[in-house]
Structure 1
Amino acid sequence: MDLDPYPNILNFIAASLNGGTSWIGFNVPTAGSMVALAVACVALMVSAFVSGSETAFFALSQSDIDDIENEDKRAAVSRLLKEPERLLATILISNNFVNVSIVLLLNYALTQILVIASPVVNFVLQSVLLTFILLLFGEILPKLYSNEHRLKWAVFAVGGVGSLSHMLRPLTSLMTRSTVIVNRVVTKKEERLSLDDLSHALEITDVEEQKDKNMLEEILKFGGKTVSDVMTPRVDMTCVDWDMTFDQLLATVRESGYSRLPVYVDNQDNIKGIVYAKDLLPFVGKKDAAFKWQSLLRDAFFVPESRMIDDILEDFQKKKMHMAIVVDEYGGTQGVVTLEDVLEEIVGEINDEYDDDEKNYKRLSQDIYEFEGKTQLNDFYRITGLDDDEFADVDEDAETIAGLLLNIKHDFPQENELIEYGRCRFRVMAVERHRIEKVKVKILQDKPETKEE
């Protein structure tokens, strides 16, 4: 009597399906084949775990990481993502090792259980079956799920992936180093556009909005400017004397309209800190003899006048500050620069509800303007529509209209003096203590003959 009739039954069914000829037969599963199937199922789950982890980790944003409540888990996820090449190498090595193991184990188990007469049919059947199982359960399903629940999956998987990364560190290190070498050999040198190339491209580009074109031009120039190019000079700074009374301080704040003011002792070269208008509000109207407004000072941030404005923009972001005191090589105060000053180099003048739109200039007619001498040249060109190339020979090192006139004349102009250059006729309207206060500018249609001053 046959103790195990099931293989015979399966063989009979297979023979019936093949017209009486048994192309496929079944053997009694051995202990080895059953163990191979069990291990292959476990390996398939590991493959799904690793594949899902790849999708989950590389889909995480910084805001997702910040949302992780468990500090240890958050730190572990951040550590893995700090080395993305190593993380990817760990996942790829693990996934390939597991997938090869699955193929070998299932191939062994199916060979023990199935008996297929045709080698071609055997190869095709096993290839299709194994590929389907690996793709569906080891790749597609886990990646679809982990993409929808990436944060949950990453928190769950961080321990296992971290352990794999530690175990496979020698292999991942070798792989990442090999990748770097290969990239150096096969990667073509990238052609980088110079600023001149970008400027030329902008000139020949059809930009409908002049404002957009001006902004793009300012962005190109942004990286080449220093703090001294955009700061408010020392002579125009509004500062607070350490010895002022509280009432005097409030009057200065109201008169200036600024929310932050530098505080000095004796002179402006000895800045002690910054007073914020909002810090004074709780004490307005209160009489307290013991109150010293100097206790409200915040630390001042000092920068050299040669610091690039893109660097100081990063400083403002990191320090969460909006103002810096500009000093020269001897430590003397040269001026003050604010976040607004830096941003205005890109977007142009920024006015709030307290700013006077006509503060630095007035348009008297179609082609006549009146400017303050301290008006920045960038604003002068923007307001008048003049091209800065027209003044390329004389605007070197000049930051304001006053500086431009000094470069043209090579001397201090007298009040009411007329200076012509290019298409502009400048008339100095006011001079105070060797400082040009007001200038009237007439834009000429035709370029006059340049006069020697």
Structure 2
Amino acid sequence: MIMFSAFFSASETAISSVNRIRLKNMAENGNRGAARALKILGKYDKALTTILIGNNIVNITCSSIATVVCIAVVGEQYGSLVSTIVTTIVVLIFGEVMPKSIAKDHAEPIAIGVSAVISFLMLIFTPFSAFFILLKNGIAKLFRSKESVSVTEEELMAIIDEIEDEGVLEQQESNLVRSALQFDETTVDEIITPRVSVVAVDVNDSAKDVCDKFLSEQYSRMPVYEKTLDNIIGVINQKDFLKEYLAQGEKLMIRDIVQETVYFPHMLRISEVLRTMQKKKCHMCVVLDQHGGTLGIVTMEDLLEELVGEIWDESDEVKSPITTVSENVFEVYGDVSLGNLRRFFEDREIDVEIESEAHTVAGWVLELFGSIPKNGDVVRSERFVVTVLEAAELRVNKVRIELVSDEVKD
């Protein structure tokens, strides 16, 4: 009887803690036991009820037999007491704790191993399990919340961490899933190329000047403005320009080959930006500030990099936007978005908070200094020591960020 009790206890734990994804992969590879276990999981309430019914029948039978035996051995006066003590200890150790502990560590093989017997018992106990499930559902309705059950993003992230630890997903794959979950939360102003870094051409520039700029900058597209960068009228494509330039030479008017672009407010989510750009077949858009001026530009490549990480082509100068110098020291380019810096720290489980209304590291550093810093300037905050490594006249190009530990602060 103890063996039967152990069987049901192990079955309960194995079915409750088995990894569905792993079982599904095994079933797809032809494992019949895994396929049977998956069917049991699909009827979890019925399976659990069947196991509990079986376990209770076994334990009650075991207790009854033990009582009869103990009374026969030690007499009626102490037989029931001895039976209770012995049965409790034996069932607890060998019928509950040990089988459940083993099943927890070997959930998949045990779930597969017991699947045939449990499937048969589910069929035998169908009338009883149906009654108990009906009773359970009736009682559950009395306490059911009106709010629909949902899974939070934090719970999804925890699930991703768990399946990554179990080896179901590689780190690169799990990072892609995390990026997809966070994609809808990111606003377009977090990933822009800021206005000060935008390379653009005036619609009245000569064809030769535009050609020289394409050759020197190595961009496939550039925005075109009229009089001021706040008035971007479209985008010029390198291939289209070179084709017309070879045909017309200096007679080419830039205005004639300007393609329309789209404009977005700076607080729009990048998921909406991506959908619109796909619909309009647009590769570059203009991001506007609250006053309607140009805040910066965003390309399709910028949007895709939020999902898959940095994308390099043959004309890019490969550089790491964030470089780890030592355990607590990092070198960061000023045009890195604060969102990316926060995610960099989160991915490495570095517990720091960056509180700022700025969108880029350069903007955050300007907030810390309260003025435009020069090369070598240092500013200290509660958790950071920031040193300016490269600064132009009106902007910060690169900084070193050193994390201050709690021990140093104390």
TM interval, short-chain normalised: 0.5 to 0.7
2:277 to 274, 297, 316: 316
SS at match of 2:303: helix
Structure-2 change in CA distance of 1:447 and 1:419 (3 Å): farther
SS at match of 2:286: strand
Give the count of matched residue pairs.
Answer: 262
CA distance in 1, matches of 2:269, 2:382: 31
- Residue of structure 1 equivalent to 2:230: 269
The residue correspondences of 1:241-280 to structure 2 (distance < 5 A) are 241-280=202-241
- Residue of structure 1 equivalent to 2:151: 193
1:333 to 257, 269, 294: 294
CA distance in 2, matches of 1:236, 1:362: 21
Gaps in structure 2 of 5+ consecutive residues: 1-145
Q: How far does residue 193 in structure 1 lie from its aligned partner after superposition?
A: 1.2
The residue correspondences of 1:356-435 to structure 2 (distance < 5 A) are 356-358=317-319, 360=321, 369-380=330-341, 387=348, 390-392=351-353, 394-408=354-368, 412-419=372-379, 425-435=385-395
SS at match of 1:449: helix
Structure-2 change in CA distance of 1:336 and 1:365 (3 Å): same
What whole-Å deviation, never above 9, does each CA across 1:22-77 have from its counterpart, x for those lacking one? Answer: xxxxxxxxxxxxxxxxxxxxxxxxxxxxxxxxxxxxxxxxxxxxxxxxxxxxxxxx
CA distance in 1, matches of 2:349, 2:204: 45
Percentage of pairs with the same residue: 28
SS at match of 1:273: strand
- Residue of structure 2 equivalent to 1:202: 160
Structure-2 change in CA distance of 1:286 and 1:366 (3 Å): farther
CA distance in 1, matches of 2:314, 2:387: 32
Does 2:185 align with 1:224?
yes
CA distance in 2, matches of 1:220, 1:420: 34
CA distance in 2, matches of 1:414, 1:276: 37
Q: Is the 8 A contact 2:352 2:383 kept in 1?
A: no
Structure-2 change in CA distance of 1:329 and 1:442 (3 Å): closer
CA distance in 2, matches of 1:415, 1:311: 39
Amino acid across the alignment from 2:378 = L
Structure-2 change in CA distance of 1:239 and 1:403 (3 Å): same
Q: How far does residue 190 in structure 1 lie from its aligned partner after superposition?
A: 5.2
Gaps in structure 1 of 5+ consecutive residues: 1-187
Amino acid across the alignment from 1:449 = V
CA distance in 1, matches of 2:268, 2:250: 43
Structure-2 change in CA distance of 1:304 and 1:381 (3 Å): closer
Structure-2 change in CA distance of 1:270 and 1:423 (3 Å): closer
What whole-Å deviation, never above 9, does each CA across 1:387-425 have from its counterpart, x for those lacking one? Answer: 476332x24434332234345555554531334567764
SS at match of 1:274: strand
Q: Is the 8 A contact 1:238 1:262 kept in 2?
A: yes
- Residue of structure 2 equivalent to 1:113: none
CA distance in 1, matches of 2:407, 2:261: 50
Structure-2 change in CA distance of 1:210 and 1:359 (3 Å): closer
RMSD: 3.2
Q: Is the 8 A contact 2:334 2:396 kept in 1?
A: yes
Q: Is the 8 A contact 1:239 1:261 kept in 2?
A: yes
Q: Is the 8 A contact 1:423 1:448 kept in 2?
A: no
Q: Whose radius of gyration is greater, 1 or 2?
A: 1
Q: Is the 8 A contact 1:390 1:422 kept in 2?
A: no
Structure-2 change in CA distance of 1:381 and 1:349 (3 Å): farther
Structure-2 change in CA distance of 1:406 and 1:281 (3 Å): closer
Structure-2 change in CA distance of 1:413 and 1:316 (3 Å): same
Amino acid across the alignment from 1:193 = V
